[in-house]
Structure 1
């Protein structure tokens, strides 16, 4: 981790400019270098290495695959996602249920849009739309772990709510815990003209998950747009659409050597 001398910047990244993976069962938009998409100048912002906007068709998904030394947070916007891992955890993730998986020394897991099979149904036509985010842990080779937490709509409506955090100040907050004491994820569901404020931190990452908003110093942002803020905070976000949802990472360190 490192906290160099920083120059204030507000860097807008439009949805249409993101790396894209489009195959028969998956539409994925990558904010940073991911898989075969690599740009040495776009590997992370602060502690955030992955911010994937994924849509998976019914009955499909990611087969069992490994992860190591990463804190993985999943936030579903529509539909449901079935998680299974080599530690024996399994469950269905849906809107309002935050999930954290600590890969640590190594873990295998799968993620599929097949919850209907668990319910005894023969088919389902609804895709699942979710955001998956990866941040580096404080320490490598930690014991793998898993946590999920349901946050009712009233907790998220009209205000910025901490959904995942490793920061000491959030020890008593209703949030899943990540293994990085310099990072926190906040979510807000906004009605038209609702406002929230960007946290003041060396690094923040705003992602518009749904609808459209206006950000001071940046203007209008649409679904899928992102803003990387460095050494600046306090800007107001105002919802421009009846249903808007924003995800904001607050980070007080960055990754050195990536």
Structure 2
């Protein structure tokens, strides 16, 4: 029988540093909740607002799969692998930090803010050679359907990472119904509402709410608003 773990938007951790306004679904930095450390392999889900011209200076990571999904504005990335990149809405960035990476992230616009989701997954391989990937997807291809944006397979649609995880994004008309079928037995599903409202497995979710679902072969999805936007993350529940 499926089990649900609801994280409403107003229960997330929050840190406002002026230039950075961050809401954290899971324990991160100064926010710690022993009941919200991770959902399976999903370790971090931060909803970040960065003021114009500001950002994160160069800092290290290792043995984590880091995904950035811009929702608004322009994000500039630099790293010690030699990458200098710009990512915008419609892009998905994946960095496998493996044996160690230094990188920085800045708002590429000195006036307008940038809003993006930063997501970390525990990898299924340690100390791999670090890698960077970035793709641009057509938002029209997720209208009233779930568009695959991440998978474990380099030859599959979207980009890939070192974990048996699949990410899908969709934008739906009000009343549109669909379902998501689990790709791998024993994985879990974490649904995050980017915009609008949905009913997922009988649970109503509003903007920036998250729902973890374990022991479910599939989930049923209904959009409650026009142009409602959803991120579905299928991740392993056993990370040992």
2:39 corresponds to 1:45: yes
Pairing of 1:85-104 with structure 2 (within 5 A): 85-104=79-98
- Deviation of 1:241 after TM superposition, in Å, equals 1.7
Q: What is aligned with 1:83?
A: 77
Aligned length: 237
Which residue in 1 is equivalent to 2:224?
A: 240
List runs of 5+ in structure 2 lacking aligned partners: none
For residue 235 of structure 1, give the secondary structure of its aligned residue in structure 2. Answer: strand
Q: Which residue of 2 aligns with 1:145?
A: 131
Contact 1:46 1:204 in 2 (8 A): no
Larger proportion of strand: 2
Give the Cα separation in 2 of the matches to 1:253 and 1:19: 22
1:194 alignment partner, one of 173, 176, 180: 176
Aligned 1:123-142 pairs, distance under 5 A: 123-124=110-111, 126-142=112-128
Distance across 1 between alignment mates of 2:189 and 2:6: 12
Q: 1:119 — aligned with what?
A: none
**Pairwise mapping of residues 203-218 of structure 1 onto structure 2 (< 5 A)?**
203-218=188-203
CA distance in 2, matches of 1:98, 1:20: 24
TM-score, structure 1 normalization? 0.87
- Per-residue CA shift, 1:205-250, capped at 9, x if unaligned? 00001121122321x2111100010101423212122221111111
Deviations 1:107-130 (A, max 9, x none): 01111112x4xxxxxx42x21111
Deviations 1:120-175 (A, max 9, x none): xxx42x21111111111111111000001111122221111110111xxx553221
For residue 2 of structure 2, the aligned residue among 4, 8, 11 is: 8
**Which residue number corresponds to residue 227 of structure 1?**
211
Runs of 5+ consecutive residues of structure 1 not aligned to the other structure? 1-6, 117-122
CA contact (8 A) 1:45 1:254 kept: no
Distance, in Å, in 2 between the alignment partners of 1:196 and 1:57 is: 36
Q: CA RMSD in A?
A: 1.5
1:175-216 deviations in Å (ceiling 9; x for gaps): 111011x21111112222223323335311000011211223
How far apart are the structure 1 equivalents of 2:38 and 2:207? 21
Instruction: Give the SS at the match of 2:218.
Output: coil
Structure 2 match to 1:23: 17
Say if 2:151 and 2:157, in contact at 8 Å, map to a contact too: no
CA contact (8 A) 1:217 1:235 kept: no
Matches within 5 A, 1:148-163: 148-163=134-149
1:179 aligns with 2:162: yes
Q: Secondary structure at the match of 2:215?
A: strand
